[in-house]
Amino acid sequence: MSWVKKVCVIVKCRRSVKDIKMTLKSLFAQFDQNFQVICLVDQKYKTAKRFLQKAAAKTNRIEILSITTSLNIGKRLTEVCGKAKGEYCLFVNSGDTVTQNWIGGLVDQALRTDSDLVFGDLRQFRKGKSASYYNLDPVRVQDIDCDGNALLDEFMKLHGLCSSYHSFWNKLIRLDLWELCRKDFDFESEYAWKKCAASDLAFSVSLFCNAKHAANLHGQYYYENVRQGKKDHDFGQTFGIVREILNRHRLLDRYSEDVSLMLGNCVSAEESDSAVGWFRSIQTQEKSGDDAYKNLLRKIYSGQYKIISFNIFDTLVVRPFVPPSDIFTLLNVPFQRMFELNSFADFSEQRRSAEEFCRISYGKTKFVNLNDIYDALARNYGYDREKLQTIQALELENEISFGYPRKFLVELFELAKKTGKKIVLASESYLPRECIEKILRRCGISGYDRLFLSHELDPDAFPDKFAAILDFYKSSGIRANQILHIGDDACFDIELSEKAGISSFHCPSTIELFQGRNPSVYTGNSFAKIYKTADRYTDMEQVYRGCTGLRCVNAVIANKLFDNPFQSFHEHSDLNGDPRLIGYYLLGTHIFAVARWLIGKVRNKGIRKVHFAARDGYLIQKAYDILAQDADGVPESNYIRVSRKAFAIADIKNVSDMQSLAEKTNIGKQSPDSIFAMFQPVLTDNSRKKYENFRCSNKNFCQTAFGNRETFARYIVKFYDEYLSDADFDSYHTLLSQYFQNIIAEQDVIFDIGYSGRIESALQQLLGFQIKSYYIHTNNDSVYRRQAFTPFENETFYHYKPNVTGVIREHFLSEMCPSTVGYMEKSGGLQLIDEEYHIDEITWFATKTMQESALEFVSDLKNIFGTSVLELYCRNEDLSKPFEYYLHYSRDFDRRMFAKLECEDDLGEGHSLGGLKIWNDTLEKIYQSGGHEIDNGNGVPKEIRNTPRWKRALYFFIFEPKVFWEKLKNNIGKK
């Protein structure tokens, strides 16, 4: 055993003996048995107590603690604390089960990360149904590595939405933390455990307040048996305790509003249209991959096998190259310099060809090694072998530098070591032993018994690596059926091992899973839809085949997201409705592409700063800053608070300028009130009072939208005469000018998502020098019309307008914070005015996870390739294709997390908009206009797609009633 820390497992026993048996069976099937069990049983449960007494008589590892339901929570914790031994404790509810490495895996993670609190993944099952997980479960999609305060902050922001955070059952707790929590409950109260609904929520708040460091572990599962509980919960006592604990830690003021929202979510949890109900509706059932993983664990711990063998490359070690020969591209420039070429020759293709030549030439008479390949290069191409030696050495350096561990499989490797069995490594690689051993050390892989390399073998004596393994251990009495080999290659790992009589287990490579090529493991069809299915204008399959950089980017994605080969994907999804996957894969490639493009535009051009316009420039700036590190000639970045709304009146000086508002707003959605609000910065007190008096007797008129351009035009002239004739526009413009002169210099440029040049036009007039800006795209020729009036410069990432744009595209790239809607004079300077901002918990969490994962992708690329990531061989627009696929062709299940997204746009649409509805309506227009068929949800047959609305409603009412009521509610809410 690698650990000797005793764990106290506290089982909360229900009345059912069957449930208790199920749980104890699961616990005593653990691979690591170094734990004690304390069974808490209510004194009223006589039958259950008798069963436990019989079980305890058979082992000294079960203790029984009789409890009363009226016992104060603090006293209950004190009693259990007194019984617990060892260094850690965890809770299990009778009727629930855990995977066989649950206890050992959690303890190992606690020791690795020096954590006093470790989470495992939580799954739910109901009688007669497969286990499932919530796709948006934060513990599942995130890697927790923080202190308790950071954990508490995120927990509070989610308002109790997901039970994985606050459940008793999925946590390993170090006993010193447990003792601190016990003290949190020592206040005198009448709070009884039995009477407190969701008491685990209160306990978890205490845990988070006291934890020094928290971590989590993926791949080990707690299975919660979900029963139909009583609906007459009284949550008042629980939240009284929560407030008391927060108050003790001086955090109540900070989280008071969050506690109230959390209480509301708990009360409404049973309602399907509540936040909790919606969160729970996005879930996926376990598939065959989960069973395969459990089967592999049993094999590793089985007494049948004395030796566990692992393949190395693509099993334990991965590289950012698909195929692996793409690494040869890095040799082209050094080769050309070494041989002083005047005309380009692609050495990487020569290197590939020479290897293939050797394999064909030697056939079965010799295993090919690296020297053979470079000897062939010298002979066949006439190159100086001594010079080639330098290139060969560089190839070995690259192999060492670019190899990194496949984390999930390395953890399995460590698990196999814990069993005490012999561990061997085997590979067909042509790389020399010294190189492979350096790669293994760099990846933290050690403690194996032997390393077998095919190219070191005599083919006459050993036809493959497995024959060599059997021969070596023959003297130890090891037979073929006592060896288990784990690898990714169907031929070299599975077929050859089974041919030798050795048991094998297939762990598909990350790229095989990413590309959806394994028929037994469904991992979505996103790769095929992006790179195999050409749209009307592009051939992405040929692009993928022909661009090394694009393949490298995809290899990094595959290695990260499909590190675990045993994932369950939702059958109606291509992206598993997983914000981490979508962020890393789709949003990450897009922000990398845009930031890389922008750096290419501004690098070494004498530019001082790049100003990223809030809020749309937020994520691109973050990516830009990551890529700019250590890169020469890249201007520093800055974030400026500007918006269309804030600049609506920035260039208005007289009555004639008033008509420009028609080009800046959706005039059909504006009203006298909105115009009045827009001009607040320049209105005098007399004008404000005059308008308020008018409004008192004309409230309906002031709130009514204008409806057409002519009405709008007449009103704003009248508005100017009535309320703006005494406005001090000059002073306001002077303040704006002074404010932005301190920020933007003539050598600077601006980045924004788009679209029409309103801000640049106003800034150029305020600052008195030419502005240059960069956009992702424009929507029409309005930017060119403004350039004719105010000749600023502008370049765009896309040279076309995507179908899905505006609020949806902006949301993924924007900072989640209030928008600046204006500037007011204050003490001789400018004060920024921000609008109110609200975002629901699901949208907040999904967006936060996507954005953080996207930045993680950019960081990973930078860490792997360094500054050369800016020169990867691929077009930036091609890198953005995955994101465009998500916006334009993704499946309904993968968009559902944004069902609650509300988009405020009173300068565009003029009212609050349902984000998912806008998105789906746009996709429907694409389909109607002859584009690809769109998955707009719920498997609606093609036959009724274009039928009258009442027919589609009838279909939903009969076959998808939940969707029917949801759509009905949304439509009513928009009226």
Whether residue 513 is contained in a domain is answered as yes
* Mean per-residue pLDDT, 769-796: 94
Residue from 27, 487, 507, 576 nearest 286 by CA: 576
- Assign 535 a pLDDT band (cuts: 50, 70, 90): low
Domain-terminating residue out of 385, 402, 419: 402
Q: Which helix (H) or strand (E) holds 598?
A: helix 588-602
Residue 746 lies in a domain: no
The CATH number of the domain holding residue 444 is 3.40.50.1000
- CA nearest neighbour of 934 among 529, 542, 581: 529
Q: Quote the CA–CA distance of 920 and 935 in Å, as a whole number.
A: 9
**Mean pLDDT in residue range 120-138:** 90
Q: Among 249, 272, 291, identify where a domain stops.
A: 249
- Supply 974's token pair: 């928009």
Decide if 577 is inside a domain.
no
In this structure, the answer to whether residues 477 and 436 fall within a common structural domain is yes
Same domain for 139 and 206, yes or no, is yes
* 16-27 confidence digits (pLDDT tens): 999 999 999 999
Structure confidence at residue 193 (pLDDT): 45
Mean pLDDT on 796-821: 92
- Residue 745 inside a domain? The answer is no
**Do 47 and 155 have their domain in common?**
yes
The top-scoring range by mean pLDDT among 115-119, 662-666, 786-790 is 115-119
pLDDT at 184: 84
What pLDDT does residue 505 have? 96
**Same domain (yes/no): 141, 243:** yes
Are residue 354 and residue 390 in the same domain, yes or no?
yes
Same domain (yes/no): 480, 431: yes
287: nearest Cα among 447, 527, 638, 522: 522
Highest mean pLDDT among 269-283, 400-414, 452-466: 400-414
Nearest residue to 328 via CA among 392, 381, 388, 383: 392
Average pLDDT over residues 772-792: 94
pLDDT value of position 134: 92
Residue 313 lies in a domain: yes
Query: In this structure, are 139 and 13 located in the same domain?
Result: yes
Whether residues 376 and 446 share a domain: the answer is no
Is residue 935 domain-resident?
A: yes
3-state SS of 485-520?
Answer: EEECCHHHHHHHHHHCCCEEEECCCHHHHHCCCCCC
Task: Identify the pLDDT of residue 3.
Answer: 44
Position 879 scores a pLDDT of 97
Structure confidence by residue, pLDDT tens digits, 832-872 = 888 888 888 889 999 999 999 999 999 999 999 999 999 99
Three-state secondary structure call for residue 696: helix
Residue 910 has pLDDT above 60, yes or no: no
Mean pLDDT, residues 748-766: 93
- Please, are residues 814 and 835 in contact by the beta-carbon 8 Å criterion? no
Burial of 750 (0-12, 13-18, 19+ CB in 10 A): buried
Whether the pLDDT of residue 190 is over 70: the answer is no
User: What are 912-930's pLDDT values in tens digits?
Assistant: 567 888 888 888 888 777 6
Q: Would you state the structure tokens that stand for residue 601, as one six-digit string?
A: 């535009």
Structural domain harbouring 922: 906-973
Q: What is the pLDDT of residues 55-64, one digit of tens each?
A: 999 998 999 9
3-state helix, strand, coil in the chain (%, to 5): 50, 15, 35
The burial of 791, by beta-carbon neighbours within 10 Å (0-12 exposed, 13-18 middle, 19 or more buried), is given as exposed
The span from the CA of 141 to the CA of 580, in Å, is: 6
Q: Are 307 and 360 in the same domain?
A: no
Higher pLDDT, residue 334 or 198? 334
pLDDT given at position 882: 96
**What are the angstrom distances between the C-alpha of 686 and each of 650, 676, 709, 710, 716?**
22, 13, 29, 28, 18
Does any domain span residue 671? no
Could you tell me which residues come within 8 angstroms of residue 22 by beta carbon, excluding any fewer than 6 positions away? 94, 95, 97
Residues 6+ apart with CB under 8 A from 418: 1, 2, 104
Domain boundary pick from 377, 402, 427: 402
Residues 513 and 375 in one domain: no
Q: What pLDDT does 275 receive?
A: 77
**Residues 28 and 110 reside in one and the same domain:** yes
Tally of domains within the chain: 5
Percent of the chain residues topping a pLDDT of 70 = 90
pLDDT tens-place string over residues 192-216? 444 445 678 888 999 999 999 999 9
Which backbone phi and psi does 794 adopt, to 5 degrees?
Answer: -155, 135
Taking residues 182-190, report their average pLDDT: 68
828 falls within a domain = no
Tell me, yes or no, whether 434 and 334 share the same domain. no
Residue 198: predicted pLDDT: 62
Decide if pLDDT at 2 tops 50. Answer: no
Q: Is 907 a residue whose pLDDT tops 80?
A: no
| CB-neighbour burial class of residue 188 (10 A; exposed 0-12, middle 13-18, buried 19+) | exposed
Nearest to 262, CA basis, from 279, 239, 244: 239
Q: Which of the 8 DSSP states describes residue 482?
A: G
pLDDT digits (tens, 9 = 90+) for 664-696: 888 878 999 999 999 999 999 999 999 999 999
pLDDT for the residue 196: 47
Mean pLDDT calculated for residue range 728-746 = 93
- pLDDT > 90 fraction of the chain, expressed in percent and rounded: 68
What is the mean predicted confidence (pLDDT) over 311-328?
97
Q: Which of 450, 444, 404, 435 is nearest to 310 (CA)?
A: 450
Mean pLDDT of the chain: 89
Return the higher-pLDDT residue of 77 and 702: 702
Entry pTM: 0.91
CB-based contacts of 685: which residues, under 8 Å, 6+ apart?
none
